Amino acid sequence: MRRVYDCFVNFTFLKRVPLAWLNLTHDRKRFVTSLGGVAFAVLLMFVFTGFMNALYDSQIQLLTKLNGEVIVINRLKNNMFVPASFARRRLYQVRAFEGVADAYPFYISEGAWKNPETGQSFSVRTLAFNLGDPVLSLPAVNEYIAELQLPNAALIDTRVRPEIGPTEAGIVSELADRRIRIVGTFELGTDFASGNGNLVMSDVNFLRYFADRGPEEDTRSFATADLGVVKLKPGATVEKVVAALQQALPADVLVLPRDGPDGFVTRERLYWQENTNIGFVFTLLTTMSFFVGIILVYQILYTDVADHWAEYATLKAMGYSNAYLLGVVLQEAGFLSVLGFLPGFAVSYLLYNAAAAATGLFFQMTSERVVNLFVATFVMCLVSGVVAVRKVQSTDPAEVFGG
Amino acid sequence: MGRRVSVAWMNLLHERTRLLVAIAGVAFAVLLIFMNLGFLGALTATTTNFYEQFNADLFLSSPETLEVSTTTAFPRERLYQAEGIPGVSRVMPLYSGYVLWRNPDPPHTSRAMFVWAYNPDDPVFLMPELETPSARRILQQPNVVFYDLRSRPDFGSSEIGTVTEAARRQVTIGGNYSLGGGFAADGTLIMSDQNFVRYLSPRPLDLVDTGLIQLTPGANPERVVRALEQALPADVDVYTKAGIMLRDQTYWISSTSIGFIFGLGVLVSFVVGIVIVYQILYTDIRDHLPEYATMKAMGYRNRYLFQIVLQEALLLAAMGYVPGLIVSLGLYELTLNATAGSLPVQMNLSRVGFVLVLTILMCSVSGLISVRKALSTDPAEVF
């Protein structure tokens, strides 16, 4: 009965917490250094997973802003990089189907933008649509509809690369060797297919710039569209409409739901996952950061165990079990992971913002990613704790005091 | 000197396990730096390694061209003008563009394929497959192209004799070569300029994408570059081979953010390395504080203590660097195998040297930070 009671007391959380906590905070300066170590390991993991996610997320940013449940594209357009367009009359056909509220054409083209300050040209992506169609769910764009109706007027993305130059209303520069006037700004960000940034303009202006650019470039007209954005009536089932459209329309177009596992957005992300080494590179770097973290935490815990060697031996001589000592060290690991994670997370958050500003990529700190990395941090501290505690467990009290 | 080294050495060696962990820590920081630089180097190299196969000393390109796959064309007359400059032995126009290539195997999906085109009589490329007279004859046939064996498998069969469609015209694969397309192209073709006009209609041949210039033996490239720049109008830029490779690399590194990404990766790894070494040295100094104080009380100067800590730092740097280097060589190999050669990470001497300098710097900085405690020791206080 007495043993059961002992066990109970030993495993009561409250009684052991102070020892682990006091061991850690005993030397304030070292405690801060330890937290710094864990925080840096956390930062490393955040940086590398952050880059991987940013490179992937950026590719689908524009696609998630399309205001329609169903997307129509040319069958050849297997990613946004392929400049294949389809006959716009397919969208007229789409409008006749049950459940379809409207179908909007969306035009995309690359063109050379002249930096108004340096005079150097860089390619940017131009997005265009009929100003009467609510194609993009970007509130900033919809505010400027009246200004966009002017000839040679466009909006510029505030998250373009620095090479593009200043991004404010009132700038006058050149796009595809024609004068262009910026009447406002919106926020989107760059991806692999966007070159250095994005412009938004009306379809009529789009023709002014891209209808006839000389023999080396494709001519553009309203006969073809790059994306068809299909808005459904409330209550219509996406799968049913997609199936009906795909069956009825000729095979030159592909009809996809925007979201879902077989959707347009997922398809784009999968293309970049399968066709680049991004995943391999950053998974390797993140794994290595994890091991760096284990080493950092092990150093801390090991030093602590070494410093309190005699105390641990005394505890053992007094009859405390190995499980108790393990509990103390594991709690230290737990404290370290929580307290080290917070500053690591805070610094990473700032770094994400800085990196997003510098690259125009889309750095996203979702709660799922934060939780995943916290679990990784905890496991990291746990592994180091288990390794460090082995030394205490094999302690023979007689040896410590005898020597 | 010998005595001092042994103090540093003994301090480190005193606690074996901690030394091992310390070495592992430094090694991991070194490894992280090596991997970041390796990935950056490999990606940079893949953007431009096809230039090595160009049989030219100088290049002409429009100032509006940012990299070779999306060129702004310039008038062919510029090449004829260049031919008149002393030191130039031959000029060759090179055309390039994209065509949609239909996969000859089911499900027959089409993908954008990059095309190089030139007059088959010009020795534009160094690949041996293209140098034989028979290859030249095959290239001259209408609707026949050479197919890059390093194109992605999604383009389908590379077998000679395969018939499929390019830009909605029938096309036959007449030969193979091995080049690779850098960042912009998933696959490449080589065809004659006459075929280029057919497939990329309405492209005229008097607008050139890239101009290739061979020099007479013994000509001074820099002098010819200067003469060309003086003679030609501002609608073309003159590059050496290294210069045009640098232009393309700069474009890709900044436009894909990979320079920023891996640069930051190196920086963060470097800082983590500082933290690791600082932890070790700081603990060491703390543990030996009475000894350091004794030495000070005995009359040893601050400089002496300083040197001991710095030596410990350098010993750690050396001992961590070597395993870090060895493991990175292994991981480079693993990366090569895992990515089937598409990420050609390679160690080079300048990187080995650069990371060694970084490691020494990393350990010295931690040494300098941690030594402050030992220096500020007042012997009276410790005792």
pLDDT in tens, A132-147: 999 999 999 999 999 9
Task: Give A30's contacts in chain B (Cβ within 8 Å).
Answer: 282-283, 286
Same domain, yes or no: B75 and B184: yes
Q: Residue A187 and residue A196: Cα distance in Å, rounded?
A: 14
Give B-chain residues touching A110 at CB under 8 angstroms: 70
**What is the predicted pLDDT for the residue at B382?**
61
Q: Are residues A46 and A142 in the same domain?
A: no
Q: What are phi and psi of A167, to 5 degrees?
A: -125, 90
Q: How far apart are CA B171 and CA B104, in angstroms?
A: 11
For residue B255, give the amino acid letter.
S
Q: Which chain A residue lies closest to B24 (C-alpha atoms)?
A: A295
What is the pLDDT at residue A20? Answer: 80
Q: Per-residue pLDDT for B189 more than 90? A: yes
Same domain? For B205 and B281 the reply is: no
Q: What is the pLDDT of residues A147-192, one digit of tens each?
A: 999 999 999 999 888 888 999 999 999 998 899 999 999 999 888 7
Do B203 and B284 belong together in one domain? no
3-state percent breakdown (helix, strand, coil) of chain B, nearest 5? 55, 15, 25
Residue B252 lies in a domain: no
Shared-domain flag, residues B157 and B209: yes
Structural domain containing residue B121: 63-235
Is residue B10 in some structural domain? yes
- ipTM for the whole complex: 0.75
Å between B214 CA and nearest CA of chain A = 26
Under 8 Å between Cβ of B210 and B61: yes
pLDDT at residue B190 tops 80: yes
To 10 degrees, the CA torsion angle through A365, A370, A376, A380? 100
More confidently predicted of A195 and B304: B304
Do B77 and B167 sit in the same domain of this protein? yes
Chain A residue numbers with beta carbons less than 8 Å from the beta carbon of B282 are 30, 33
Contacts of A47 in chain B (CB under 8 A): 264-265, 268
CA distance B115 to chain A (A): 14
Quote the number of domains for chain B: 2
The verdict on residue B246 lying in a domain is: no
Count of domains in chain A? 2
Q: Judge whether A169 and A184 are in contact, CB under 8 Å.
A: yes
Out of A33, A47, A355, name the one closest to residue B279 (CB). Answer: A33
Question: Does the beta-carbon distance from A296 to B279 stay under 8 Å?
Answer: yes
Nearest CA in chain B to A291: B28
Residues B217 and B148 occupy one common structural domain: yes
Q: Which of B101, B254, B272 to mutate: most A Cβ within 10 Å? A: B272
Chain A interface, best mutation among B168, B205, B261, B335, by max A CB count within 10 A: B261
Q: What's the 3-state SS for chain A?
A: CHHHHHHHHHCCHHHHHHHHHHHHHCCHHHHHHHHHHHHHHHHHHHHHHHHHHHHHHHHHHHHHCECCCEEEEECCCCCCCCCCCEECHHHHHHHCCCCEEEEEEEEEEEEEEECCCCCCEEEEEEEEECCCCCCECCHHHHHCHHHHCCCCEEEEECCCCHHHCCCCCCCEEEECCEEEEEEEEECCCCCHHHECCEEEEEHHHHHHHHCCCCCCCCCCCCCEECEEEEEECCCCCHHHHHHHHHHHCCCCEEEEECCCCCCHHHHHHHHHHHHCCHHHHHHHHHHHHHHHHHHHHHHHHHHHHHHCHHHHHHHHHCCCCHHHHHHHHHHHHHHHHHHHHHHHHHHHHHHHHHHHHHHCCCCCCCHHHHHHHHHHHHHHHHHHHHHHHHHHHCCCHHHHHHC
The one-letter amino acid code at A357 reads A
Q: From A276, which residue of chain B is nearest by alpha-carbon distance?
A: B342
Same domain, B145 and B102: yes
Q: Which of A152-161, A343-352, B345-354, B368-377 has the lowest mean pLDDT?
A: B368-377
Q: What is residue A1's predicted lDDT score, i.e. its pLDDT?
A: 47
Interchain CB contact of B76 with A (< 8 Å): no
- Look up the domain containing A335 and give its range: 2-59+277-402
Instruction: Check whether the bond before B107 is cis (ω within 30° of 0).
Output: yes
CA A193, A199, A205, A210: dihedral to nearest 10 degrees? -30
| Structural domain ending residue among the three candidates B177, B200, B235 | B235
* Chain Cα centroid distance, residue A236: 31
Contacts of B342 in chain A (CB under 8 A): 277
Inform me whether the pLDDT recorded for B64 exceeds 60. Answer: yes
CA closest to A302 among chain B residues: B18
The pTM of the full predicted model, rounded to 2 decimals, is 0.79
Q: Give the chain A residue nearest B259 (alpha carbons).
A: A359
Average pLDDT over residues B219-238: 93
Taking one residue from A and the other from B, the number of pairs with CB-CB distance under 8 angstroms is 131
Peptide bond into B106 cis (omega under 30): no
Are A298 and A201 in the same domain? no
- Going by C-alpha positions, the residue among A102, A104, A103, A124 that lies closest to residue A113 is A124
Assigned domain for B112 exists: yes
Q: Which residue type does B135 have?
A: A
Q: Sorting pLDDT into bands at 50, 70 and 90, what band is A8?
A: very low
Q: Cβ separation of A302 and B17 shorter than 8 Å?
A: yes
Both A82 and A120 in one domain: the answer is yes
- CA dist A262 and A254 (Å) reads 12
- Which residues in chain A have their CB less than 8 angstroms from residue B204's CB? 215
Could A302 and B203 be called an inter-chain contact, meaning their C-beta atoms sit closer than 8 Å? no
d(CA A381, CA A330): 8
Q: Is residue B359 included in any domain, yes or no?
A: yes
Domain annotation covers residue A270? no
B289-296 average pLDDT score: 81
Are A80 and A209 found together in one domain?
Answer: yes
Q: Is B242 inside a domain boundary?
A: no
Are A53 and A78 members of one domain? no
Q: Which of residues 318-377 of B touch A (CB under 8 A)?
A: 331, 335, 338-339, 342-343
Query: What is the per-residue pLDDT for A64?
Result: 92
* CA A113 from centre of chain: 28
Contacts of A299 in chain B (CB under 8 A): 18, 21-22, 25, 276, 279-280, 283
As a whole number of angstroms, the distance between CA B90 and CA B335 comes to 41
- Are A212 and A125 in a shared domain? yes
Q: Which of B71, B269, B324 is nearest to B185 (CA)?
A: B71
Q: Which pLDDT score, from 0 to 100, does residue B373 have?
A: 65
Quick one: B42 exposed, middle or buried, by C-beta within 10 A (0-12, 13-18, 19+)?
A: buried
Among A30-39, B20-29, B157-166, the minimum mean pLDDT is found in A30-39
In angstroms, the separation between the Cα of residue B134 and the nearest Cα of chain A is: 31
Tens digit of pLDDT for each residue in B67-97? 888 788 899 999 999 999 999 999 999 999 8
Last residue of a domain, one of B186, B203, B235: B235
Over residues B331-343, mean pLDDT: 84
Is A265 contained in some domain?
Answer: no
Residues B288 and B183 in one domain: no
Specify whether B271 is located in the same domain as B319: yes
User: Can you tell me which residue has the tokens 């049913």?
Assistant: A240
Q: What mean pLDDT, rounded, does chain A reach?
A: 86
Q: Do A314 and A382 have their domain in common?
A: yes
d(CA B173, CA B166): 11
Does residue B28 sit in the same domain as residue B148?
no
Contact B260 A277 (CB under 8 A): no
Say if residue B82 is in the same domain as residue B226: yes
- Burial class (CB within 10 angstroms; exposed 0-12, middle 13-18, buried 19+) of A172: exposed
Q: pLDDT class for B381, splitting at 50, 70, 90?
A: low
Please report, as a single letter, which amino acid is at residue A170.
G
A54 and A115 fall within a common domain:
no
Q: What is the pLDDT of residue A9?
A: 45
B35 shares its domain with B72: no
Say if residue A190 is in the same domain as residue A125.
yes
